[in-house]
Structure 1
Amino acid sequence: MGRILLERVKHTRMFIRHDQLEKIFEEFDGQCMALSKEQRLEKYKTMLENPFRFFRGSAYLFYYDVTKVPSIFHTDDEKPTWIQGDLHMDNFGAFQNESGDIVYDVNDFDEGYVGSYLYDIIRMSVSIALYLEEQGLNTSAQEMAIHHFLRGYINQLKRFQRKQDDPRTLSFTKDNTKGPIKRVLKKLEKRQRTHFLQDISQINEEGKRVFLWNEEVQPVSKEEFAAISNVLPNYAIKDIAIKHGSGTASIGLKRYYILVDGQTDALGVEDLVLEMKEVRSAIPAYFLPYNETFWAHYEHQGARVVGTQKAMHHLEDPHLAYVTMDGQEYYIRERSPYKKKVKPKNYTDLEDYFVTTSIMGQITAKIHARADIDYSDVFTYHSEVEILHAIGKHHDIFIESTILQAMRYKELVYSDFELFKEWVEEKFKS
């Protein structure tokens, strides 16, 4: 009898969580995102690759869970931080800034919003644990990597507070980084800007540069070409393609590559590719306090993403813009030919993971500290001051608490991943 009752307890707990998952996925992917059955299946197939991919594609589930958990380390609701909103290991990368330097920074701003800094910190910490788990590293290594991330974050905030560094000008290059990040940046220095264009384009029989078609890069219809040309009247457009297969959470949103002529980058090279991506409301906005001042400035979702990137990057992309086309909102930026992530193959030992997460902590501190009164009139205070005040003097307690929460949530992600597999099989078996 006791065994039967225990099984009933386990079944009921899983049944309730299964029901929560189903309602959340139906609401956000089915209603808010309005994804078709085919688009949802494409997204879910990617999420089924592993728990880390599942975590990347279900930010709404993360916020549904963690916004219910109070913490003494949250900043006051009246003094939020401009957060990246979807911080994880694969949302950092290398690219060329507008001075021609190859830098390493956060490279995704679709979920930018205002709220407690702690949501970025916890989401990144969970992602570190999941990422390292996928590489076969044990719990101790995962916890130590998170520790380095958090220590890097706190130490960099303190440097800003003491005026030892300036968040408005600090950037991360081969000269002030180590390990895999430094190696990737040094390797990119040898890459020619034209390599990217050669990879995705060709000179046709008429002597014009056009895109090369493949599974991920496909031609657009005449109507799409005309509509995009209409909203970008200041560019001499050579060709337009629709881009498939990028990201996880953004699957189902339209993304275009636009080959333009007559524009030059910091090094004077002509011909570049713009990326025009459809954007919806930020996922954190559904769960965090409504900020009237923020929305007064960034009602257009493309403006919100562009504003987030400008706030968090030292040197802004001169091609950043936002448009509305056929009732949908988009943002535009240059698709950097130097875009590159640190991949699993780039790590050679444990120390490489620790050095990398520490630098990611410094970068996270930079984007939080920069996107306040230094950049935007939405803020009347310095975020680094408010964050350090919330963390207090007992840094070790903050670190231990965050690691504990991240590791517990990692286990929930693995459990949810199994339920998700069952649900997708049930929902899309036909």
Structure 2
Amino acid sequence: MAGSTNNTKSNGKTGGTGKEQSSTTRKETVTKAAPVIKSEGRVGSFRTLAERIASGEQIVPPRQLSGLDRRNHVRSTLREDHQTRIEERSAGARDKFKKLAGSRFSFFRGTALLFYRDMVGSDAHMPTVLALGDVHPENFGVMPNKEGVPIFSVNDFDEAVYAPFTWDIKRGAVGFWVGAQEEGDLSRKQRRKIIRHFVNGYLDAMTDFAENETEKKDAFQRNNSPKVIKRLFDEAWEERKDWLWSDYLEPTGRGFRADDELEPVSSQKEKFQKAIDKLAKDNGIDVTHRVGELKVKDVCIRHGQGTASLGLPRYYVLLEGPSKNATDDIIIEFKRARTSALEGLTPPTEFNAGTEADRIAHGQAVQLAHGDVFYGAIEIEGTSFMTRERAPFRDDIDLDELSKKTWRKYAYVCGQALAQAHALSDDLGRVDYDVEPSIVSACQPRELFIEDILRFTVETADRLKTDHIDFIEDFKTGAFDSIDFVYR
């Protein structure tokens, strides 16, 4: 594509909508005949586009592009979204692109910015909630609550932002559609039933919350979960001692082992001890019965984790447990925070979740009532990290093990869990009106609402199929070895 090179860095500046940001704007001269001039990127134009669409103007959004125009849009968006990783020649960047090329479901999961630019400014008439931002069947799972007890709920808050509630439902519906096709090999008719169960689970739960106001009490635990989730609780459970020694510790138990996934960096213990101390202070953590003095035993870099965040810095911090015999240690994850893929694309709203790690921590605090006390935001040497506990039972479902019937049941439960997260937006979040009855009213007539979600899902999944085919061809020809920049 004209305007790219393998050897020259971009002079563009990304921010807001693009998740990886350059700290400065650089001016370079390639030749006297072709000067490289300052480029502001496409972030500002997309923010303006969101405002114009939300105001009712008739504008062609990128989802209506076709042919080479659409292909160039996909290519530029992915380059922008991974600018830092591409510029730094990160091994994780190429690993991520290989993963995206490997399956359409991975491509869907790893290209949230592309998905939301297609939705730019839409659904401005719908009630606002603190949206999860990246709903799909693998972003629900079992995790620890504030007491370390396993619960089932939404489990990824990296994209959390205030947005119309329909944005989460639409991304979730497409996620279930693509996941059921690739992981379950299910027909379109079967997938339509799954989407119906997902949306009905959401609407049934939201109606119940509107009537009974139980959203702060209704966390799924093993004793009150349907069979499909009880099975997940049982499969996820592992004794902490066995988990630590089989997956993380070196033979003496004094620190992390070294392998392809774990790279010990014990020299950074002091730096992360300060971060843990600050996290404990900021969060008011009082779990001495679980981690004693919050002493850092070791630190490692975790390689190859995640899909959207693959290639970004991620650390595991080992805290010594009360027994001091490496059987009850705790692992805290530090993952570099990114700008939300929804930033600048949603209809204008007065509600603000904050920026980077603070925004992610706010999302967890609101959407996961009584959740992990180690979920928080920490800045280390100028870089923003989100934190959370890794636990023996932190797990999500194996989609390829679901039968046709359990796919529908699982989708229904996930719809319920998403409704609970949204319903907390006016209890613990910054929404200043009664969310539940507003959403129930906005979804009437119910059958029309569900059919519209299905129509959106089918159209988006068909477009995703074409985008993925074009992406694979572009990747093979080196389109993502460089980033976009402007010559003149």
**TM-score bracket, shorter-length normalisation:** 0.7 to 0.9
Question: 1:209 aligns to what?
Answer: 254
Q: Aligned ranges for residues 107-118 of structure 1 at < 5 Å?
A: 107-118=155-166
Number of equivalent positions: 398
Is 1:186 equivalent to 2:234 in the alignment?
yes
Question: 2:410 aligns to what?
Answer: 356
Question: 1:6 aligns to what?
Answer: none
Of the three residues 427, 431, 441, the one matched with 1:389 is 441
How far apart are residue 288 of structure 1 and its match? 1.4
Is 1:339 equivalent to 2:398 in the alignment?
no
Q: Provide, for residues 90-122 of structure 1, a one-character-per-residue CA deviation record: whole Å limited to 9, x for no partner.
A: 111112323453221111111000000111100
Of the three residues 254, 257, 266, the one matched with 2:313 is 254
Partner SS state of residue 427, structure 2 = coil
Q: Provide, for residues 172-227 of structure 1, a one-character-per-residue CA deviation record: whole Å limited to 9, x for no partner.
A: 123333243221213445x322232122333645xx531122211112273x4443
How many angstroms apart in 1 are the aligned matches of 2:207 and 2:142?
Answer: 25
How many angstroms apart in 2 are the aligned matches of 1:319 and 1:353?
Answer: 32
Of the three residues 343, 360, 364, the one matched with 1:285 is 343
Q: Aligned ranges for residues 177-326 of structure 1 at < 5 Å?
A: 177-189=225-237, 191-202=238-249, 204-205=251-252, 208-220=253-265, 222=267, 224-233=268-277, 235-262=294-321, 270-291=328-349, 293-295=351-353, 298-299=354-355, 301-326=356-381
How far apart are residue 59 of structure 1 and its match? 0.2
Partner SS state of residue 66, structure 2 = helix
What is the identity, as a one-letter code, of the residue corresponding to 2:215?
P
Give me the TM-score of the superposition, normalised by structure 2: 0.76
Bigger CA drift: 91-100 or 57-66? 91-100
Of the three residues 29, 33, 41, the one matched with 2:82 is 29
Bigger CA drift: 329-338 or 140-149? 329-338
How many angstroms apart in 2 are the aligned matches of 1:33 and 1:124?
Answer: 29
Query: Retained in 2: the 8 A contact 1:89–1:124?
Result: yes
Question: 2:40 aligns to what?
Answer: none
Partner SS state of residue 72, structure 2 = helix
What is the identity, as a one-letter code, of the residue corresponding to 1:154?
L
How far apart are residue 262 of structure 1 and its match? 4.3
How far apart are residue 294 of structure 1 and its match? 1.5
Question: 1:414 aligns to what?
Answer: 465
Q: Aligned ranges for residues 79-118 of structure 1 at < 5 Å?
A: 80-118=128-166
Question: 2:450 aligns to what?
Answer: 399
Is 1:20 equivalent to 2:60 in the alignment?
no
Partner SS state of residue 275, structure 1 = strand
Partner SS state of residue 209, structure 1 = coil
What is the identity, as a one-letter code, of the residue corresponding to 2:333?
E
Query: What RMSD, in angstroms, separates the aligned Cα atoms of the two structures?
Result: 2.3
Query: Retained in 2: the 8 A contact 1:102–1:188?
Result: no
What is the identity, as a one-letter code, of the residue corresponding to 2:413?
I
Tell me the percent identity.
25
Query: Retained in 2: the 8 A contact 1:48–1:421?
Result: yes
How many angstroms apart in 2 are the aligned matches of 1:14 and 1:31?
Answer: 28
Query: Retained in 2: the 8 A contact 1:90–1:341?
Result: yes
Of the three residues 30, 39, 44, the one matched with 2:97 is 44
Query: Retained in 2: the 8 A contact 1:75–1:386?
Result: no
How far apart are residue 34 of structure 1 and its match? 6.2
Shift of the 373–246 alpha-carbon distance from structure 1 to 2, 3 Å rule, reads same
How far apart are residue 293 of structure 1 and its match? 4.5
Question: 1:3 aligns to what?
Answer: none
How many angstroms apart in 2 are the aligned matches of 1:327 and 1:289?
Answer: 31
Query: Retained in 1: the 8 A contact 2:144–2:372?
Result: no
Question: 1:9 aligns to what?
Answer: none
Structure richer in helix, relative to its length: 1
Question: 1:173 aligns to what?
Answer: 221
Shift of the 427–117 alpha-carbon distance from structure 1 to 2, 3 Å rule, reads same
How many angstroms apart in 2 are the aligned matches of 1:33 and 1:314?
Answer: 37
Shift of the 333–175 alpha-carbon distance from structure 1 to 2, 3 Å rule, reads same
Give me the TM-score of the superposition, normalised by structure 1: 0.86
Shift of the 388–75 alpha-carbon distance from structure 1 to 2, 3 Å rule, reads farther
What is the identity, as a one-letter code, of the residue corresponding to 1:414?
K
Q: Is there any run of 5+ residues in structure 1 with no aligned partner, and where?
A: 1-11
How many angstroms apart in 2 are the aligned matches of 1:123 and 1:332?
Answer: 25
How many angstroms apart in 2 are the aligned matches of 1:274 and 1:86?
Answer: 22
Query: Retained in 1: the 8 A contact 2:377–2:386?
Result: yes
What is the identity, as a one-letter code, of the residue corresponding to 1:230?
K
How many angstroms apart in 2 are the aligned matches of 1:145 and 1:221?
Answer: 47
Query: Retained in 2: the 8 A contact 1:109–1:309?
Result: yes
What is the identity, as a one-letter code, of the residue corresponding to 2:459?
R
Q: Is there any run of 5+ residues in structure 2 with no aligned partner, and where?
A: 1-64, 281-293, 482-488
Is 1:129 equivalent to 2:129 in the alignment?
no
What is the identity, as a one-letter code, of the residue corresponding to 1:383?
V
What is the identity, as a one-letter code, of the residue corresponding to 1:220?
V
